[in-house]
């Protein structure tokens, strides 16, 4: 399987590069970075700390999508939306771990998924996808006497907040309650905000140090509290999940898939739905 990496010099890009180079049945055929990156012109193997591969890192994604069976993408929202359009044009499967996508960018991805398989996930670890299922089920059982708050912490360099994983957990809670997250979401509180609104799903984002990713969903009622927590101590868990997604996506029919499809425990509706992952 021929695999390309968009954003190969980022934290996740370098992790994926190392894992994919050593993955059985995988041939890494290229990697790209943004214009002006200091790694442009370097050998892809050397970037991974190994033997040269004879593959030079460039800034034009089109040849990458033309050469690869699957491209894995941890870049920026604007770049990812352009890459999805390119994937549809070249018939390339697209695995997306980019977060912070807006409605227009999601629409571009959904359009592309009508022509090619796209795996879109804010978090590719097995543990996070499992607790999304747990959060949805707890939310289905508990009524609005239970307040829901999502708290996340990441390293100081993370640029979007709340994290994509926090939003996915909020979506899972909203789905369990049969409501749309955008109608009940409360993104941070400051000043005289008044008492908490019944049925609200709140978010709090913390940034500092080198934290890979901590997420807690709190269900709080009078006299008791339930907390569901996932803590990531290594980015390798995301990398391993992304490799699974890459291997799974090749040869699939067109559609917008989630990591629950990849991991085999999607309890929802049709996996090829263009609505995207929970």
Catalytically annotated residues: 154, 158
Residue 60 has a CB neighbour count (10 Å cut-off) of 9
Burial of 54 (0-12, 13-18, 19+ CB in 10 A): exposed
H helices present in the chain, as ranges? 11-21, 44-47, 61-67, 77-90, 103-112, 126-141, 164-177, 181-184, 236-249, 259-263
Residue 163 has a CB neighbour count (10 Å cut-off) of 23
Nearest to 164 by CA among 120, 114, 109: 120
For residue 33, what are its two tokens? Answer: 């970075």
For residue 251, what are its two tokens? Answer: 């040869």
CA torsion sign for 256, 260, 263, 269 is negative
With beta carbons less than 8 A apart as the criterion, state whether 112 and 94 touch: yes
With beta carbons less than 8 A apart as the criterion, state whether 166 and 202 touch: no
Q: Peptide bond preceding 156: is omega within 30 degrees of 0, i.e. cis?
A: no
DSSP 6-18: ETTTSHHHHHHHH
- What CA–CA distance (Å, rounded) separates 75 from 100? 11
């Amino acid at each position: 399987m021929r695999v390309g990496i968009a954003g190969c010099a980022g934290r996740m890009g370098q992790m994926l590069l190392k894992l994919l180079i050593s993955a059985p049945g995988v041939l890494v055929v290229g990697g790209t970075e943004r214009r002006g990156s200091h790694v442009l012109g370097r050998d892809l193997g050397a970037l991974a700390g190994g033997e040269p591969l004879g593959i030079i890192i460039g800034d034009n994604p089109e040849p990458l999508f033309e050469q690869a069976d699957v491209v894995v993408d941890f870049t920026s929202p604007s770049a990812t939306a352009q890459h999805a359009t390119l994937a549809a044009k070249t018939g390339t499967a697209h695995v997306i771990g980019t977060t912070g996508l807006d409605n227009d960018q999601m629409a571009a991805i959904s359009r592309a998924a009508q022509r090619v398989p796209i795996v879109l996930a804010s978090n590719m670890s097995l543990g996070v996808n499992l607790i999304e299922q747990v959060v949805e089920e707890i939310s289905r059982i508990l009524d609005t006497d239970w307040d829901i708050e999502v708290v996340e912490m990441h390293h100081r360099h993370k640029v979007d907040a709340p994290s994509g994983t926090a939003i996915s957990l909020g979506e899972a809670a909203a789905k369990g309650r049969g409501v749309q997250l955008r109608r009940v979401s409360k993104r941070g509180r400051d000043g005289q905000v008044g008492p908490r609104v019944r049925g609200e799903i709140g978010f709090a984002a913390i940034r500092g140090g080198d934290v890979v990713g901590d997420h807690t969903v709190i269900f709080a009622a009078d006299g008791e509290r339930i907390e569901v927590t996932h803590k990531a101590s290594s980015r390798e868990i995301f990398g391993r999940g992304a490799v699974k997604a890459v291997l799974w996506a090749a040869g699939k029919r067109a559609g917008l898939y989630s990591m629950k499809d990849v991991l085999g425990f999607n309890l929802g509706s049709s996996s090829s739905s263009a609505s995207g992952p929970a």
